[in-house]
A and B are shown apart, each in its own frame.
Chain A
Amino acid sequence: MAGNSACFQSTTLIKAPVYPMSTQPTGTDGPLIDPESLVEHYGDILFRYALRRVQKRDVAEDLVQETFLAALSARERFETRASERTWLLGILRHKIVDYVRRVSRERPSENELSPDDVSEAFFDGKGMWAVKPSRWYGDPLRALQEKELWDKLMVCIAGLPERMAHAFALRELEEQDVEEVSQTLGVTSNNLGVLLYRARQRLRHCLEVNWFGERVD
């Protein structure tokens, strides 16, 4: 990803020139740091961001809460942040990774990934296509203009087995590198590759069925 990825460091916070922290009316003196304002201005934004990555509402809610709590306890250092939203998202991203790491530990570890019937069903014993990709009708560029497409994609990601969903979220949405993601999930980088391959197989099929229409050979 080019350009603006500098705004999105997950480990280092940006040093920025000090300038008015918020253009939103606070209604009170001082920065936008009171519970109602925080939740009102950033609650849904953070919630959706988290939900896209963890799929479960209750988990996303907890992560938002933890993020706000951390922000409150760090509010003295608030002034140097370039943007409240970016800062809060930075905290949230950390919390998301911590969550995935914790959940991955609690999962029984497997040295070898067990076979995934779903993604393997696309091929027969000889490695030929058994369930063939169908034609996706319509102009793909037009499809990208429609916001509902991303809703469907999110539904498809939510339909993945949990570890695959986390692998996909950390690698593709959080854009972490292979080593980081492997470590967080507690798998080898080879296994991560397999997880991601399977995730993409399933997602492609899910989009085919749920967006581009019924299978037609």
Chain B
Amino acid sequence: MERKLLLRRRMAVTAHLLMCRFCSRYRKQLRFMENAVDRLVESEKEGNPLETTDTYLSPEARERIEQSLRREIHH
């Protein structure tokens, strides 16, 4: 979908898509995915990422990170 096809090829693909319902479906589904990914990326830029937010740094990881930061400051 990122490549430019020659006109004839494009027409052949269009003709195929009119008849092959699986390919049409596939194309729609890929577009849906693109749309979903687009929305995710935009939502991240707005600071409000889409997804249920039950992913957290573990307490151990937090502690480890804080410690390494403290070490960095005091040196």
- Binary per-residue interface labels of chain A (193-217) against chain B in the complex, 1 for a CB within 8 Å, 0 otherwise: 1000000100110011000000000
Residues of B within 8 A of A136 (CB): 25, 29, 32
- Interface size band for B: 35 or more
| A156 vs B57: C-alpha distance when bound (angstroms) | 21
- Chain B, residues 32-74, CB within 8 Å of chain A (1/0): the string is 1101111111101111011111011110011011101110110
Name the distance in Å between A118's Cβ and chain B's nearest Cβ. 16
Digit string of A149-160 for contact with B (CB within 8 Å is 1, else 0)? 111011000000
Known: A39-B66, A64-B65, A129-B22. A153 touches B57 (CB 8 A): no
- List of B residues within 8 angstroms of A47 by Cβ: 55-57, 61
Cβ-closest chain B residue relative to A145: B50
User: How many residues of chain A get a CB closer than 8 Å to chain B's CBs?
Assistant: 52
Which A residues touch B41, using CB under 8 A? 1, 172-173, 175
Taking the complex as formed, is A107 at the interface, i.e. its CB lies under 8 A from any CB of chain B?
A: no
- Bound state CA distance, A208 and B37, in angstroms? 16
Residue contact A72 to B51, C-beta cutoff 8 Å: no
Please tell me if the beta carbons of A200 and B56 are within 8 angstroms of each other in the complex: no
Using CB atoms, name the residue of chain B closest to A175: B41
Q: Please tell me if the beta carbons of B40 and A153 are within 8 angstroms of each other in the complex.
A: yes
Whether B56 lies near A44 (C-beta < 8 A) is yes
Q: Are A144 and B29 in contact (CB under 8 A)?
A: no
Contacts of B45 in A (CB 8 A): 4-5, 7-8
Knowing A64-B65, A173-B37 are in contact, say whether A69-B72 is a contact too (CB < 8 A).
yes
From the candidates B36, B52, B58, B64, name the one contacting A144 in the complex (CB within 8 A).
B36
B44 to chain A, nearest CB (A): 7
- Min CB distance B67 to A, Å, is 8
Question: Can you name 11 A-B residue pairings with CB atoms under 8 Å?
Answer: A1-B38, A1-B41, A34-B73, A43-B57, A44-B53, A49-B49, A68-B69, A136-B29, A144-B35, A147-B50, A200-B30
Binding site for A on B (CB under 8 A): 2-3, 22-23, 25-26, 29-30, 32-33, 35-42, 44-47, 49-53, 55-58, 61-62, 64-66, 68-70, 72-73
